[in-house]
Structure 1
Amino acid sequence: MTGLLDNLLNGLALGSVYALVALGFVVIFKASGVLNFAHGSLLLLGGYLTAVWHDDLGFAGALALAVLVTAAVAGALDRLLLQRGEPDPHAAHVQTIVTIGIDIVLVTDLARRIGGDLLSLGDPWGDSVRDLGPVTVADSRLAAVVVSAVVIGAVFALFRFTAWGLSLRAAAEDVEAAALMGVRLSRVRALAWCLAGALAALAAVFLVAFPAPGLERTTGQIALKAFPAAILGGMTSPAGALAGSMLIGLTEALVAGYQSELHVLGEGFGDVAPYAVMVLVLLVRPTGLFGTKGAARV
């Protein structure tokens, strides 16, 4: 029973961090219809900046600056490389392909800078743990749940109660109608990319904290585990991204915790488990858990 509780708590912590990344995928897709395959490199950038600045600025200062810089880089990438001229709602497929090239360039440069090192982000939790009843939990896991809950709540409030959130929802429903009603699509897109970059930089802190060994050049690939979460929930549903992230996080933690019982599936099954869950769910609900079928006008 203790092992199950431990796995559930780890899954909750992982899911809450994956939710930060998955929300980045969703908010960009809602604003522009682009699947941002450069999201992992933005996560790696945010973690790298925190790692190199925390000695001089302290953890809080380094993280705050890294979040701002990563948000600015994400917005600049969209504005300078994807949005050329007037926003074109029909160019999303081409722009999605462009994000693959952006990811390759960013990851290559960051991997060169990191090399074979394991970088510490200087987080204040370190390797400390605490007992919650019969379960021992790392402080970093608890911090991940609390911080993610606060940030996700703020993001949902942003969607619901701000003019930008209303514009984003209008653009997600019908880009052309939103433009005709005066919604400034370029601004909506830019802010969406900035928000996604900020969330990715924040998620990096908890993805590389104890019990993970630290930031390495392959850390950005972890963002790919949040991609099935966004797909599971429906790419236009923030609530679906949250639900999908929890499902993926719990699946990964349970598979890792019961690896010995699942040895018949192979030692590396934990790496593919999120994608296996995604396939199984999409076989039943092709539009995702919270997705809706699009209407076609003929």
Structure 2
Amino acid sequence: MTVLLSTVLDGLALGAVYALVALGFVIVFKASGVLDFAHGSLLLLGGYLVAVLHASLGFAAALAVAVLATAAVAGAVDRLLLRRVARDPHAATVQTIVTIGVDIVLLTDLSRRIGGDLLSLGDPWRDSVSRIGPVPVADSRLAAVAVSAAVIGAVFALFRFTAWGLSLRAAAEDPEAAALQGIRTARVRTLAWCLAGALAAVAAVFLAAFPAPGLDSGTGQIALKAFPAAILGGLTSPPGALAGSLLIGLTEALAAGYQSELHVLGDGFADVAPYAVMVLVLLIRPAGLFAAKGAARV
């Protein structure tokens, strides 16, 4: 029972971090209709900046700089690159392909800088462990849940109670009608990219924290595990991204914790388990668990 509880807590913590990443996918898609395949390299950029700056600035200041810098880079990708093909008849497809190119460029440069090293982000939790009843839990996992809950709550409040959130929802429903109502859809879109970049930088801290060994050139690829979470939620639903992330996190943790019982599925099943769940769910709910039903006009 202790093993099960420990595994479930790890899965929830992992799902909370995946939710930050999946929420970025959803925000960008709602604002621009683009699948952002550069999200993983933006996450790696945020983590790398924390790793190289924390010694001189301290962890908190380094994280703040990394969040702002990653948000600025994400906004620049939209404003300087994606806008140039916005008038293409197949703009969303072309822009998605552009994000693949951006990912390759960023990942190549960051991989060159990191090399084969494991970088510490200087987080204050280090390898300390607390106990919840009989279950030992890394403090970084507890911090991941608390910080993710606070950040996601703030993002949801931003959607619900601010003019920008209302503008984003209006633009997602009907961009042309929103523009006719005076909403500056280009600004709304760029701010959405900035927010997604900021969320990725925060997620990087917890993906590299203990019990992970540190940040390496492959850390950004972990972000791709949050992509099935966004798909499961319907890709346009922030609550769906949260629910899908928790499901994916629990699935991965349980598959890793009970790998010996699942050996018939292969030694690396935990790595593919999120995608297996995605396929199974989409066979039943092709539009995702939380996809809104579209209205048909006759």
Please confirm whether the aligned pair reaches a TM-score higher than 0.5, indicating the same fold.
yes
Deviations, residues 20-40 of structure 1 (Å, cap 9, x unaligned): 000000000000000000000
State yes or no: 1:95 paired with 2:99: no
Contact 1:87 1:185 in 2 (8 A): no
Contact 1:287 1:293 in 2 (8 A): no
Gaps of 5+ in 1: none
- Partner Cα distance (2:120, 2:166) in 1: 39
Matched residue, 2:217:
217
Deviations, residues 45-72 of structure 1 (Å, cap 9, x unaligned): 0000000000000000100100000000
Matched residue, 1:176:
176
Matched residue, 1:11:
11
Matched residue, 1:60:
60
**SS state of the match for residue 183, structure 1?**
coil
Deviation, structure 1 residue 87: 6.8
Deviation, structure 1 residue 290: 0.4
State yes or no: 1:247 paired with 2:247: yes
TM-score (norm 1): 0.97
Contact 1:87 1:186 in 2 (8 A): no
Deviation, structure 1 residue 123: 0.2
- Partner Cα distance (1:59, 1:280) in 2: 41
Contact 1:32 1:89 in 2 (8 A): no
Matched residue, 1:200:
200
Deviation, structure 1 residue 93: 1.2
**SS state of the match for residue 130, structure 1?**
strand
Deviation, structure 1 residue 90: 5.4
Matched residue, 2:116:
116
- Two-structure CA RMSD over aligned residues (Å): 1.3
Deviation, structure 1 residue 293: 3.7
Identity across matched positions, percent: 82
Contact 2:228 2:278 in 1 (8 A): yes
Matched residue, 2:138:
138
TM-score (norm 2): 0.97
- Partner Cα distance (2:292, 2:93) in 1: 20
State yes or no: 1:45 paired with 2:50: no
Matched residue, 1:286:
286
**SS state of the match for residue 83, structure 1?**
helix
Contact 2:39 2:103 in 1 (8 A): yes
Deviations, residues 124-149 of structure 1 (Å, cap 9, x unaligned): 00000011101000000000000000
Hey, which bits of structure 1, 4+ residues long, moved more than 3 A?
85-90, 293-298
